[in-house]
Amino acid sequence: MDHSRAPVLDALAAFRHRGDVVYGPPGHRQGRGVDSRTLTILGEGVFSSDVLMLNGLDDRRQSEGVLEDAQSLMADAVGAEHAFFSTCGSSLSVKSAMLAVAGPGEKLLISRNAHKSVISGVIVNGTVPIWVHPKFDAGRHLAHPPEPADVRRALEAHPDAKGMLLITPTDWGSCADVRGVAAVCHEFDVPLIVDEAWGAHLPFHDQLPAWGMNADADLVVTSVHKMGGAIEQSSVFHLQGGRVDPTVLKQREDLLGTTSASSLVYASLDGWRRHMVEHGHELMARTIGLAQDARSRLGALDGISVMGAEVVDEGYAHETDPLVLTIDVRGLGITGYQAAELARTRHHVDFGAADSFRLNARLTHADDQTSVDVLVSTVEALRVDARGLGPSGSVDLPDQHGLELETAMRPRDAFFAAAEQVDASEAVGRVAAELVTPYPPGVPVLTPGEVITAQAVEYLQTGVKAGMLIAESADTTMGSFRVVASDAVRS
């Protein structure tokens, strides 16, 4: 295929050249109706490029196949049979993928270290989750992806499960044995979905972890805005093989997706694909070298350690993403939360995620030696900033099995059941009716239907005091919890 083409961008250029006058959405009329103060910040190009696909970039019958052409090029670029663009981020893409494999009331194996969007999909779709617990790394207090043997045990215990959803890479850069998990799933004749939101860069260099399509996964979801060159909410799901019907996938995505898709998202996905086909290997090679330099320099700083291949040697992860710098700051006597806040307020540097132990920085093809130098100098400055502070609070971390909670109700049933807000002291033993999610990275500690334990409560309460963000719970202080009403549990 001719990857020098970019069908969406080409259609946008043609639209501008023709000088089409539009009498439908968007109402700003390609920027003519936008306040000048807004244009000063956002720029005229954003609005002039905001054009509907229907009766805009394509005709009313979409007979020019602009989007389909761009998606075919994307599939070819990454070795998939089909690719579907999503303008609602992977939060929607993963829900669509799940729904294409397991419908309401059907079982789906899910790695329990899933993002809240996956748990939301369980609730919205009415799926019955069979949790496959990740491999717990007690020393680092990290969850690494489950292994093929874990998936095999779950499928043997639940032979009626419709498939498996695996999360890799994790938020902290550890990666699963995708090929091994796929082999187990296919032995049981069920598809493997890979939530590879952090892996859009993986197809473009052989020194990066295995790309799901190359490792025999059936359906792979990527967030191109995370590690690629497309704007926020840019996502693609990729399909191969015959275990998931592409028509079913598209129709179920259509149930959840918008009818007003953003041309800005489509165009940036199209341009990113062309860029990576033409220059991706050299860009990734350069970025891998930058990451090696950063890792070496950060690791040489007193009080700092950077997670690397040792987690593979120790048997926790199958491989790691070299572009992810997971920086442990315990040696500085402060929490990761404090380190992130110091970096932002004093140095105007924003880290991707933080927890009680560490910070997270990811390098992409957009980074260069200057940005690496800024990263290293910021972490070096934190060693001075941290002097005399002491940790913001002690977090009561659960043990290896402390967050493997009993599921007493289906998540959908618990979420929509009659609920009540009870004091934290009364929540232990009750059934959660809400998602309780430290963010970022966004992996729920409690999901609806799980029985709340004392360890979970203590972890959340002490975490909040130390700087953990719980943004969407009914009580973000964790002084109380939303639980299923007693009558609803009994019924």
Q: DSSP 3-state assignment of 485?
A: coil
Residue 189 pLDDT: 98
Residue 365 pLDDT: 97
pTM value?
0.94
Name residue 235's beta-bridge partners.
86, 223
Dihedral Cα 22, 24, 27, 33, nearest 10 deg: 20
**Average of per-residue pLDDT across 392-397:** 84
Residue 230 CB partners (closer than 8 Å, separation 6+): 224, 265, 268, 269, 271, 272
**Residue 11, amino acid:** A
477 vs 466: CA distance, rounded Å: 11
**Average of per-residue pLDDT across 195-200:** 96
From residue 123, alpha-carbon distances to 191, 234, 318, 413, 417 in Å are 21, 23, 30, 8, 12
**Average of per-residue pLDDT across 307-328:** 96
The rounded mean pLDDT for the chain is: 94
**Average of per-residue pLDDT across 389-415:** 88
Residue 191 pLDDT: 98
Higher pLDDT, 392 or 2: 2
Beta carbons of 414 and 433 less than 8 angstroms apart: yes
Confidence of residue 490 (pLDDT cuts 50, 70, 90): low
Residue 372 pLDDT: 98
The residue written with tokens 């799926």 in the block is 127
- Choose among 215, 271, 243, 222: nearest CA to 102: 243
Q: Is a pLDDT exceeding 70 seen at residue 214?
A: yes
Residue 491 pLDDT: 53
Q: Is a pLDDT exceeding 60 seen at residue 317?
A: yes
Residue 340 pLDDT: 96
The residue written with tokens 């009561």 in the block is 396
Q: Is a pLDDT exceeding 60 seen at residue 467?
A: yes
User: All domains of the chain, ordered by start, with CATH?
Assistant: 280-385 (3.90.1150.150), 411-490 (3.90.100.10)
Q: DSSP 3-state assignment of 364?
A: coil
Q: Is a pLDDT exceeding 90 seen at residue 395?
A: no
Q: Is a pLDDT exceeding 60 seen at residue 358?
A: yes
What tens digit of pLDDT does each residue of 256-283 get? Answer: 888 888 999 999 999 999 999 999 999 9
Q: Is a pLDDT exceeding 90 seen at residue 33?
A: yes
Q: Is a pLDDT exceeding 90 seen at residue 380?
A: yes
Q: What b/e string do you get for 264-279 counting C-beta neighbours within 10 Å, with b at 16 or more?
A: bbbbbbbbbbbbbbee
111 vs 121: CA distance, rounded Å: 13
Residue 261 pLDDT: 87
**Residue 349, amino acid:** V
Confidence of residue 474 (pLDDT cuts 50, 70, 90): very high
The residue written with tokens 């590690």 in the block is 227
Residue 419 pLDDT: 97
Comparing 47-51, 103-107, 441-445, the range with the smallest average pLDDT is 441-445
- Neighbouring CB atoms inside 10 A of 346's CB total 13
Residue 442: phi, psi to the nearest 5? 105, 20
Name residue 220's beta-bridge partners.
194, 238
**Average of per-residue pLDDT across 199-203:** 97
What tens digit of pLDDT does each residue of 150-189 get? Answer: 999 999 999 999 999 999 999 999 999 999 999 999 999 9
Q: What b/e string do you get for 20-51 counting C-beta neighbours within 10 Å, with b at 16 or more?
A: eeeeeebeeebbeebeeeeeeeeeeeebbbbb
Dihedral Cα 212, 216, 220, 223, nearest 10 deg: 10
**Residue 239, amino acid:** L
Beta carbons of 444 and 113 less than 8 angstroms apart: no
**Residue 438, amino acid:** P
Confidence of residue 54 (pLDDT cuts 50, 70, 90): confident
**Average of per-residue pLDDT across 460-464:** 94
Please tell me the number of Cα atoms within 13 Å of 91 on its side-chain side: 12
Residue 417 pLDDT: 96
